[in-house]
Amino acid sequence: MLDYIVVGLGLSGIAISRRLEERDKKFVVFEDNSQKSSLVAGGLFNPVILKRFTLAWNANEQMKIAIPFYKEMETLLQAKIVYPLAIYRKFFSAEEQNNWFEAADIPLLSEYLDTKLVKDINANIPSEFSFGRVRQTGVIDTDVLVKEYRNYLENNDKIQFERFDYNALQINEDSVSYNGISAKQIIFCEGFGMQYNSYFNYLPLRGNKGEYITIYSEELQLEEAVKSSVFIIPLGNNLYKVGATYNNQEKDPQPSKEAREELEKKIEKLITCKFEVVDQSAGIRPASKDRKPMLGRHPKYKNLYCCNGFGSRGVLISPMISEQLISFIEGDAQLPQEIDLQRFSKKHYPA
Q: What is the pLDDT of residues 252-292, one digit of tens each?
A: 888 999 999 999 999 999 999 999 999 999 988 898 888 89
Q: Which structural domains are found in the chain, ordered by start?
A: 2-40+143-204+289-348 (3.50.50.60), 82-141+206-287 (3.30.9.10)
pLDDT at 347 over 90: no
**What is the distance between the alpha carbons of residues 227 and 208, in angstroms, rounded to a whole number?**
20
Position 247 scores a pLDDT of 87
Helix (H, G, I), strand (E, B) or coil at 191: helix
Instruction: Tell which residue, 327, 323, 331, 328, has the closest CA to residue 342.
Output: 328
Preceding omega of 244 cis (within 30 degrees of 0) = yes
Q: What is the pLDDT of residues 59-116, one digit of tens each?
A: 999 999 999 999 999 999 999 999 999 999 999 999 999 999 999 999 999 999 999 9
pLDDT band, residue 38 (cuts 50/70/90): low
pLDDT band, residue 35 (cuts 50/70/90): low
Average pLDDT, the chain: 93
**What is the DSSP secondary structure assignment for residue 318, as one 8-state letter?**
H
Percent of all residues in the chain with a pLDDT value above 70, rounded to a whole number? 98
Position 28 scores a pLDDT of 98
Residue range 320-345: average pLDDT? 94
pLDDT band, residue 231 (cuts 50/70/90): very high
Q: What is the pLDDT of residues 279-328, one digit of tens each?
A: 999 988 898 888 899 999 999 999 999 999 998 889 999 999 999 999 99
Contact 169, 186 (CB under 8 A): yes
Q: How many residues does the chain have?
A: 351
**What is the distance between the alpha carbons of residues 255 and 279, in angstroms, rounded to a whole number?**
10
Position 196 scores a pLDDT of 93
Position 116 scores a pLDDT of 96
